[in-house]
Amino acid sequence: MNYKIENIKQITVKKPLKLDCGQTLKDFPIAYETYGKLNEKKTNAILIFHALSGDQFVAGTNPVTNKDGWWNIAVGPGKAIDTEKYFIICANVLGGCMGSLGPKNINDIDGEPYGLKFPVVTIRDMVKAQESLLDYFNIKKLLSVLGGSMGGMQLLQFCALYPDKTFSAVPIASTSSHNAQQIALNELARQAIMSDPLWNNGNYYKDKKIPKNGLAVARMAAHITYMSEKGLQERFGRKLQEKKDYEFTFDADFQIESYLRHQGNVFVDRFDANSYLYISRAMDYFDLSKQFKNGLVGAFQNHKTRFLIISFSSDWLYPTKNSKDIVIALNASGANVAFAEIKTDKGHDSFLVNEPEFLETLKGFLDSNFEIFKNEK
């Protein structure tokens, strides 16, 4: 597996990983990035799980895209997740396209990019692969695990698989399983990609004829779900795009049309279409309650991890009910759990923008748990 990107940190996972689909991976790369410094007692380590369209470059400048890290608003010196205090680790998920093993990589069997020969992976597979980073850094127990959206799914899976490997956990705007609507939205995105003639059944790497149109439409559809109706209306309304009246064409007359097209176009420059298929499928397959005899309660039985569940009032993709279901299960299992619904009109993406109440809540939880954890150690 010789797929490399410049300026990417990688480990090679030597231990064979038996995937949920039945196939086994070995000697495969997981790409990661770190921020801050691990203290001597290793009590300040935080593992962040990224969302569908994210990567390991949480803060600072992404060296591949030269754009800001996706959580720059929260991670950095003096910020809610203070890199002068904490050691941050974030990995590119298995199936991703930023250095971890994915469909873009070369298949050792035939010397060609995997494409659709890449095995279908699950959230559990992704988490098992990332757990190898704890061994790499010789961290026995994390201060915290954090994740929004699909990152929250990985977080819940991590806590269920490794109940003794983190002191605290903050799933944000997430869910323990997709409902029919959420699966339908992902299927819409996948069909947009697979309907692009250049997709070529996933075999587009050699010709470098990327299915840009399909991937852009997939991103546009998804991006709508990340915002709220009120937020969209207040920001765009029916404003026209640098014109006084309709042009009576199918060009972008409205500002919202131009905005969505821009979001789609910039996305295709940094993301792989096949990775989008694989990662969105992993999200749809995720159902934590099915993994345990007693359902979601069984997933957290006898847990000592301290949880803070955060939702946003205007999030219609993963509404507050999804978070409350997790809270109810945690309470029933006897876990230590707190819950906060942040009132905002910024929708699902509220955790990625400057939402002061959210950032203050997150900072307060991390800082207080750090004091407890380091004293226990």
| Per-residue pLDDT at 4 | 46
Evaluate whether residue 4 is within a structural domain. no
Question: Is there a single domain that holds both residue 162 and residue 77?
Answer: yes
Q: How far is Cα 158 from Cα 145, in angstroms, rounded to an integer?
A: 9
Domain coverage including residue 65? 9-178+286-376
Evaluate whether residue 325 is within a structural domain. yes
Of 220, 247, 279, which marks where a domain is finished?
279
Q: What is the largest CA-CA distance in the chain?
A: 68
| Per-residue pLDDT at 376 | 82
Q: Considering 303, 348, 349, 350, which one is annotated as catalytic? A: 348
* Three-class DSSP category at 249: coil
pTM of the model: 0.95
| Per-residue pLDDT at 111 | 93
The set of residues, in sequence order, having a beta carbon less than 8 Å from that of 230 and lying 6+ positions away, is: 314, 345
Of 257, 279, 301, which marks where a domain is finished?
279
Q: Considering 149, 174, 280, 314, which one is annotated as catalytic? A: 149
Q: Using alpha carbons only, what angle is made at residue 46 by residues 45 and 47, rounded to the nearest 5 degrees?
A: 125
Question: Is there a single domain that holds both residue 94 and residue 58?
Answer: yes
Please identify which residue in the block is written with the tokens 């070529």.
Answer: 200
| Per-residue pLDDT at 377 | 66
Question: Is there a single domain that holds both residue 217 and residue 347?
Answer: no
Q: Considering 315, 323, 349, 350, which one is annotated as catalytic? A: 315
| Per-residue pLDDT at 135 | 96
Evaluate whether residue 2 is within a structural domain. no
Measured in degrees and rounded to the nearest 5, phi and psi for residue 25 equal: -105, 145
To the query of whether residue 149 is one of the catalytic residues in this protein, the response is yes
Question: Is there a single domain that holds both residue 142 and residue 213?
Answer: no
Evaluate whether residue 1 is within a structural domain. no
To the query of whether residue 178 is one of the catalytic residues in this protein, the response is no
Q: Is 232 exposed, middle or buried (0-12, 13-18, 19+ CB in 10 A)?
A: middle
Tally of domains in the chain: 2
Question: Is there a single domain that holds both residue 174 and residue 206?
Answer: no
Question: Is there a single domain that holds both residue 162 and residue 297?
Answer: yes
Q: How far is Cα 339 from Cα 220, in angstroms, rounded to an integer?
A: 31
Alpha carbons within 13 angstroms on the beta-carbon side of residue 97 total 24
Interstrand relation of 24-25 and 28-35 (parallel, antiparallel or unpaired):
unpaired
To the query of whether residue 315 is one of the catalytic residues in this protein, the response is yes
Q: How far is Cα 147 from Cα 47, in angstroms, rounded to an integer?
A: 9
What are the per-10-residue average pLDDT scores of the chain (377 residues)? 64 97 97 98 97 97 92 98 98 97 94 96 98 97 98 98 97 98 97 97 92 97 94 88 83 89 93 98 98 94 94 98 98 96 97 97 98 87
- Average pLDDT taken over every residue of the chain: 95
> What would the two tokens of residue 202 be?
């996933």
